A = this chain, B = another copy of it.
Amino acid sequence: MSIQQRIDRALETAVGACEARGAAPRLAAAIRHAVFPGGARVRPQLCLAVAAACGDEAPPLADGAAAAIELMHCASLVHDDLPCFDDAAQRRGLPSVHAKFGERIAVLAGDALIVAAFDLLGHAAEASGASARRLPALMRVLAARVGAPFGIVAGQAWECEDWVALPDYQRAKTGSLFAAATEMGALAAGGQPQHWREFGEHLGEAYQVADDIRDVAADEQWLGKPVGRDHKLGRPNAVAAMGMAGALTHFDTLVQRSAAAVPAGPGSTGLRQLLRAEAERLLPPALVVRCAATRERSAA
């Protein structure tokens, strides 16, 4: 079974469970809409790639961890799109959950997805025999990377403060769930999470800088959601803080740091390739060229 199929199967288990006979129909439909069709599923792929690099000795637990992280990501998108935050009518080229189902169902669908993520992790542990002993550590990482004081929820909360250091904000808002992906992938496979944390954190920070760049420079159709939101909503943005050239250089530095942080081992070459491919996918095509040119100049 491919990585993508493993992820989809675990997500389908969680979403299907919310659609049991007698479920409130709009909530069930909103939960499915939030999860399927998905985006690039970057975080769960990263989780399973790290689990593979650590020997993938408990696949059901790794699948549960990967899908739990994706459910948390979907929950955060549903809540971030709410009228009180981004007020985004579109997500992944479709109506956002609140645009399609209303604000109340969107709040509840996000809540239900957070619960479903922990539920899936618990079920995966139960199904993984002796590896179930890893459940408390997996829960600790997932909770720390999602909740207060330093997870993605806290990252979003920094948008409500008068002042925030841009790297702290980016590390919490996006970096933390990438760190969860690498740490939990290692943990689920019996590896050492602390060896994988930096790789995920740098990649996540790079991902947030790329998001900031796209918000300024991308085409709305290419992106599948509105652009120019950060400026409109007064949110911290790397391009606003350091200019386009500065942001591109920063992005490139973070990708290189992330590549350098991949622990040596049989899977390290493959992981670095995955990282490079992902980095190219993240930027609008014209900027990928510009980024490569900058890199060559600084290497010369």
Contacts and interface: CB of A to CB of B under 8 A. Distances in A.
A112 B24 contact: no
A26 B149 contact: no
Interface stretch (A131-139, A193-201, A250-258, A292-300): A131-139
Contacts of A161: 24-26
A31 to B, nearest CB: 6
Given A104-B84, A157-B24, A149 B118 contact: no
A140 B160 contact: no
A156 interface: yes
Contacts of A220: none
A185 interface: no
Contacts of A102: 84, 160
A107 B156 CA distance: 10
Interface stretch (A12-20, A49-57, A263-271): A12-20
Interface in A43-72: none
7 contacts: A24-B148, A24-B164, A27-B153, A85-B107, A111-B114, A111-B147, A118-B139
Interface of A: 17-20, 22-28, 31, 75, 79, 82, 84-85, 102-105, 107-108, 110-112, 114-116, 118-119, 121-123, 125-126, 132, 135-136, 139-140, 143-144, 146-151, 153-154, 156-161, 164, 168
